[in-house]
C-alpha cells in the first residue's frame, strides 16, 4: 500500500513538473509576442498629428514631417482620385492584373464586373489591394499612370513630402509620406460627401448571386468612439501599424494620423479626445483683428462677403489670436 501511495505521489509530482514547464513555455511565448509588438514600432520612429479638417490647423504633432511608409492608408488618396474621375455607377471589368494581387483582398476574379461604388467599399472597408488595382486601371489605364495622378493630387492637397508609386500601399522604398501630408490628403477627401459616406460605413453587402460580398469595416473606432466617421487602417512589416482616424463633434471635424504605432487604437483615441477637450470652433467674425505678436488667421471673403474659413479652432483656455481679412 505504501509503495502504491509513493508511486501515486511521484506520478503527481511528475505531472505537476510537466505542467509547470508547459506554463513557463506559454508565458515566455506570450511575453515574446507582446514585446515583438513593441519592437515593431521600435524598428523606426513613430509619428503622429491631429488637424482640424476645414482649416488644416495642427492641434497636436509628434514628428509630423518625418518620412514614413503609409501602407494601406494610401487607399485614402486612391479613393479620392477614383471618386473625382469615375461615376459611382460605372461597371468596371476586373483586369487580370488586379485579380490575385498579394496582401489583403476582396477576392476579385478576372472578367467579373463590379461598380465603382462597390469597389470603393471593398477598398475602404476591407482594404482590398485588388480593388485598388482595379480602380487604378479603370481611371488611368495602368497603375503607373494612376500613381502619377495620385502624386499630382497629393501636391494639390498640400502634401509636400510624399511620393506614391502604387494604389494600395504594398511596400516600396519609393512609396512614402508623412503624418502631416496624410492628414492634409484626408482633409481634402473629407470634402467629398461620397468619401465620407463610404469611409464611415460599418458594414455593407454588395453584389448579387455568386458575386455577393459582405464587407465589414476594419476600423474599430466606428461605433465605439464618440463622433467617429472614418477612415483607414494600414500595416506592413516595414510600415508598422498605421491608422488615420476621423471624428466629428460640436461642429469640429478632426483628422488624426499615427504611423508606426503598435498601440495605434489607444493613441488615436487619446489624441482625438485631448484635441476635442482643448479646442472649440469659433466664428471668425467673433475673433478680434490681428495685432502684432498674435497668431494671425487669414480669412478670405468671396464675392458675396462670405468668409473662408467661416470658423476656426481656438483653445478653450484662451489664446492670443486674431483675424486678417483678405
Domain ranges, ordered by start, for the chain = 45-277, 284-325
Confidence at 204, pLDDT banded by 50, 70, 90: very high
Residue-wise burial string across 26-38, b where 16 or more C-beta atoms lie within 10 A, e elsewhere: eeeeeeeeeeeee
CATH number of 45-277: 3.40.710.10
DSSP H helical ranges for 43-108 = 75-85
3-state secondary structure of 192: coil
- Give the mean model confidence (pLDDT) for residues 71-88: 99
Answer whether residue 20 shows pLDDT above 70.
Answer: no
Confidence at 57, pLDDT banded by 50, 70, 90: very high
- Give the mean model confidence (pLDDT) for residues 177-192: 99
Answer whether residue 37 shows pLDDT above 80.
Answer: no
Residues 20 and 222: beta-carbon distance below 8 Å = no
Considering the chain, what percentage of its residues have pLDDT values greater than 90?
83
In DSSP terms, 243 is beta-bridged to 233, 258
Of 301, 236, 245, the residue nearest 273 (C-alpha): 245
Residues with catalytic roles: 72, 75, 127
Answer whether residue 16 shows pLDDT above 70.
Answer: no
User: Would you state the pLDDT for residue 17?
Assistant: 52
Confidence at 196, pLDDT banded by 50, 70, 90: very high
Answer whether residue 1 shows pLDDT above 70.
Answer: no
- Give the mean model confidence (pLDDT) for residues 120-130: 99
Question: Out of 34-38, 63-67, 144-148, 223-227, which region has the weakest mean confidence (pLDDT)?
Answer: 34-38
User: Would you state the pLDDT for residue 326?
Assistant: 87
User: Would you state the pLDDT for residue 45?
Assistant: 77
Of 260, 258, 282, 252, the residue nearest 270 (C-alpha): 258
Q: Tell me the longest C-alpha to C-alpha distance in the chain.
A: 105
Tell me the pLDDT tens digit for each residue of 269-285.
Answer: 999 999 999 999 999 99
109 is in an annotated binding site: no
Tell me the pLDDT tens digit for each residue of 307-326.
Answer: 999 999 999 999 999 999 98
Answer whether residue 142 shows pLDDT above 80.
Answer: yes
In DSSP terms, 303 is beta-bridged to none
Q: Which residue has the cell 514631417?
A: 65
Answer whether residue 100 shows pLDDT above 90.
Answer: no
Average model confidence (pLDDT) for the chain? 90
Amino acid at each position: 500500500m505504501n509503495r502504491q501511495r509513493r508511486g501515486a505521489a511521484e506520478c503527481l509530482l511528475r505531472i505537476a513538473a510537466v505542467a509547470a514547464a508547459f506554463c513557463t513555455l506559454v508565458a515566455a511565448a506570450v511575453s515574446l509576442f507582446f514585446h515583438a509588438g513593441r519592437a515593431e514600432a521600435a524598428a523606426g520612429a513613430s509619428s503622429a498629428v491631429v488637424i482640424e479638417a476645414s482649416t488644416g490647423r495642427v492641434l497636436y504633432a509628434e514628428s509630423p514631417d518625418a518620412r514614413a511608409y503609409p501602407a494601406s492608408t494610401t487607399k485614402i488618396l486612391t479613393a479620392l482620385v477614383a471618386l473625382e474621375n469615375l461615376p459611382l455607377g460605372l461597371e468596371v471589368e476586373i483586369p487580370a492584373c488586379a485579380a490575385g494581387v498579394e496582401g489583403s483582398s476582396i477576392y476579385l476574379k478576372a472578367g467579373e464586373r463590379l461598380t465603382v461604388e462597390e469597389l470603393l467599399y471593398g477598398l475602404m472597408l476591407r482594404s482590398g489591394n485588388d480593388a485598388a488595382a482595379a480602380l487604378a486601371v479603370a481611371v488611368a489605364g495602368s497603375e503607373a499612370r494612376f500613381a502619377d495622378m495620385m502624386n499630382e493630387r497629393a501636391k494639390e492637397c498640400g502634401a509636400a513630402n510624399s511620393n506614391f508609386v502604387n494604389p494600395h500601399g504594398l511596400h516600396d522604398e519609393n512609396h512614402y509620406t508623412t503624418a502631416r501630408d496624410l492628414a492634409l490628403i484626408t482633409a481634402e477627401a473629407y470634402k467629398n460627401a461620397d468619401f465620407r459616406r463610404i469611409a464611415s460605413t460599418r458594414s455593407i453587402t454588395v453584389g448579387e448571386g455568386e458575386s455577393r460580398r459582405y464587407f465589414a469595416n476594419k476600423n474599430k473606432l466606428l461605433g465605439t468612439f464618440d463622433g467617429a466617421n472614418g477612415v483607414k487602417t494600414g500595416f506592413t512589416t516595414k510600415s508598422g501599424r498605421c491608422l488615420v482616424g476621423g471624428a466629428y463633434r460640436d461642429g469640429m471635424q478632426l483628422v488624426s494620423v499615427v504611423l508606426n504605432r503598435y498601440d495605434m487604437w489607444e493613441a488615436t483615441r487619446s489624441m482625438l479626445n485631448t484635441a476635442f477637450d482643448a479646442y472649440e470652433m469659433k466664428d471668425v467674425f467673433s475673433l478680434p483683428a490681428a495685432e502684432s505678436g498674435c497668431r494671425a488667421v487669414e480669412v478670405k471673403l468671396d464675392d458675396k462677403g462670405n468668409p473662408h474659413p467661416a470658423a476656426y479652432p481656438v483653445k478653450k483656455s484662451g489664446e492670443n489670436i486674431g483675424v486678417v481679412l483678405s
